[in-house]
Amino acid sequence: MTFPPFAGFVRRVVLANVIVFFAVALLGAFGIPGTAFLIGHLELTPALVMRGEIWQLLTYSFLHFSLLGTLLNMLGLWFIGSFLESSCGSRWTAELYFASVLGTALTAMAIAYGRILHQQPGLTLAGSSGAIFGVFIGFAVLFGEQEIMLFPLPVRIRAKYLAVIYILLELYPVIRGEYEDLVYLGGALAGYLFAKFAPQRGLLGGTSEWYFGLRNAYYRNKRRRAAKKFEVYMGKQGRDVRFDKDGKYIDPDKDSNKWVN
């Protein structure tokens, strides 16, 4: 058994989560004034988001209050995220992670304002469990046949089957009325949709590629129109000028059939 590489986006986000965890723990341990106020404006509260604190849609995912929970989340992100980063690249993995963060947050908003499971807009959410669930579902979508060892049990199971088991395990608390597990399923859905439909270069890469392709098509069309007008103008002057389909000038002195020694 070997540990995966600890580098790139995965290292940055893991270190950010760990640093924030210990910073908040130290602030609370020393009784620093304003700690509760700070946490209250960083964790996700749908009512506050609707009042303009939209940064909570991201910052909540860096807040953890349990050492064991933080450790398990970061180990899961390290192992699964590193595999995805080495296979799909840092940009794609980062977009998958933050798409799951946002999907989790939006699910919490929908639950709060839809009064689902008797919740209210004042509910709070913190932690990266939904985001990591989304990363794992994205991994299962792309590498469903990959076998995973259920440590510490000497049992190996394919990722797609393990994903189904995790989803079913999350559904049981929802039936009992626990909204957090439904929120995590929102993160899982976001991870699934991203892995299924996002371009290989990621949404930002695909969007920039689409933008530059559209811009280049516009300038090519503009050049062809200008070339056509120039052809007409030079024809009125008694000169025969020709351009190709891309608007590039065709030199009449060049004979493409001539042999060159």
Q: Are 125 and 162 in contact (CB under 8 A)?
A: no
- Is the pTM above the cut of 0.75? yes
Q: Which domains does the chain have, with CATH numbers?
A: 8-198 (1.20.1540.10), 209-261 (no CATH)
Residue-wise pLDDT for 156-210, tens only, equals 899 999 999 999 999 988 888 888 899 999 999 999 999 999 887 776 665 666 5
User: Is-contact 14 57, C-beta < 8 A?
Assistant: no
Rounded to whole angstroms, the Cα distance separating 220 from 197 reads: 30
- Distance (Å, rounded) from C-alpha 261 to C-alpha 256? 14
pLDDT for position 225 = 82
Model confidence band, residue 239 (pLDDT cutoffs 50, 70, 90): confident
pLDDT at 260: 43
* Contacts of 175-181 spanning 24+ positions with Cβ under 8 A: 177/117, 177/118, 178/117, 179/108, 179/111, 179/116, 179/117, 179/119, 179/123, 180/125
- Which of 1-10, 14-23, 167-176 has the least mean pLDDT? 1-10
Q: Look up residue 53 and give its DSSP letter.
A: -
- For residue 204, the model assigns a pLDDT of 67
Residue-level pLDDT at 259 = 47
| Torsional sign, CA 197, 201, 203, 205 | negative
The radius of gyration of the chain's CA atoms, rounded to the nearest angstrom, is 27
Most confident of the following: 2-6, 167-171, 187-191, 248-252: 187-191
- Reported as a single tens digit per residue, the pLDDT across 55-83 is 999 999 999 999 999 999 999 999 999 99
More confident residue, 28 or 261: 28
